[in-house]
Amino acid sequence: MYRFLLSRQWVILTLIALVLIPVMVELGFWQLHRHENRVAQNQRISDALNADPVPAEKLTSPGHEVPKEDLYRRVSAKGTFDARHEVVVRRRTNSDDAVGFHVLTPFALHDGKILLVNRGWIPADGPQTAFPKIPAPPKGEITVTGRLMADETSAASGIKDVRGLPDRQIMLISSGQQADALGKEVLGGYVELSSPEAKSGSPELIGEPDHSSIGAHMAYAVQWWLFAAGVPIGWVVLVRRERRDRAAAAEATAPEATPAAV
């Protein structure tokens, strides 16, 4: 009745089904782990943003690589902005996806070290080769507060670190590169400014990272598991259809019985 299952075609089909089931189950768990990681990451960012600010030098130092657990931590520092050595980071977008620059200003601390402060976004309203007009930072000694960020790399950001750019323009924020340019000790990473906000509204402060969206990973996990459950069901349906079709074909080709002689 089911001898057709030993045919080459059905053996291959059955083996494929047996391979697909664990593969799909594993893909479901992979998506589940991505969902769990996203939830944990959102919680970590939320905790960092809601924590009280700590002095920047407690979390970073010259040559320090900011670890994942310290990203977005609120830090503060007291010092003065050095607008003379300000640079801009090219091809950055704001919340409306308009292209412009990020303004990176050295912030001199009491001990002579430098903290890099990303003061926010300005539009690219002139030629790319010209240094844009930037609203001046506050003068005198002030206290800044912001989110601690790691040095940018091409591997992490996908942005190529182009050389030979116009004067005072960069592609990536690197405390090491800025330390070489300034000839001073620069704290590792940089700070996205959150306070004080520019009175003119420019530079436009960088918004907080999204830590509410969890994506569709859980839905994808359930989808893969449903696919895995559907494979054996589909296999059974195909087997029963094949058996029914073979029985009908055999019945159609069977010779009619001749009546017995009287």
Mean residue pLDDT across the chain: 92
Query: What pLDDT, on the 0 to 100 scale, is given for residue 242?
Result: 87
Query: What pLDDT, on the 0 to 100 scale, is given for residue 259?
Result: 59
Q: How confident is the model at residue 227 (pLDDT cuts 50, 70, 90)?
A: very high
CA gap 51, 129 in Å, rounded: 41
DSSP state of 81: E
Query: What pLDDT, on the 0 to 100 scale, is given for residue 261?
Result: 55
Higher pLDDT, 212 or 170: 170
Higher pLDDT, 204 or 130: 204
CA angle 225, 231, 237 (to 5 degrees): 140
Q: Is the dihedral of CA 188, 102, 157, 37 positive or negative?
A: positive
Query: What pLDDT, on the 0 to 100 scale, is given for residue 200?
Result: 84
* Sequence letter at residue 52: D
CA gap 77, 122 in Å, rounded: 23
Widest distance between CA atoms in the chain: 126
Query: What pLDDT, on the 0 to 100 scale, is given for residue 260?
Result: 59
pTM, rounded to two decimals: 0.79
Query: What pLDDT, on the 0 to 100 scale, is given for residue 256?
Result: 60
- Mean of pLDDT values over 99-120: 97
* pLDDT greater than 70 at residue 77: yes
User: pLDDT (tens digit, 9 = 90+) per residue, 167-209?
Assistant: 999 999 999 999 999 999 999 999 999 999 988 889 999 999 9
188 and 62 Cβ atoms separated by less than 8 Å: yes
Query: What pLDDT, on the 0 to 100 scale, is given for residue 49?
Result: 94
Q: How confident is the model at residue 83 (pLDDT cuts 50, 70, 90)?
A: very high
Query: What pLDDT, on the 0 to 100 scale, is given for residue 10?
Result: 87
- Percentage of residues of the chain with pLDDT beyond 70: 97
Query: What pLDDT, on the 0 to 100 scale, is given for residue 210?
Result: 86
Domain layout of the chain by residue ranges:
24-49+211-238, 59-195
Least confident of 8-12, 216-220, 243-247: 243-247
User: pLDDT (tens digit, 9 = 90+) per residue, 132-179?
Assistant: 999 999 999 999 999 999 999 999 999 999 888 999 999 999 999 999
Q: Packing angle between helix 217-253 and helix 8-50, nearest 10 degrees?
A: 170
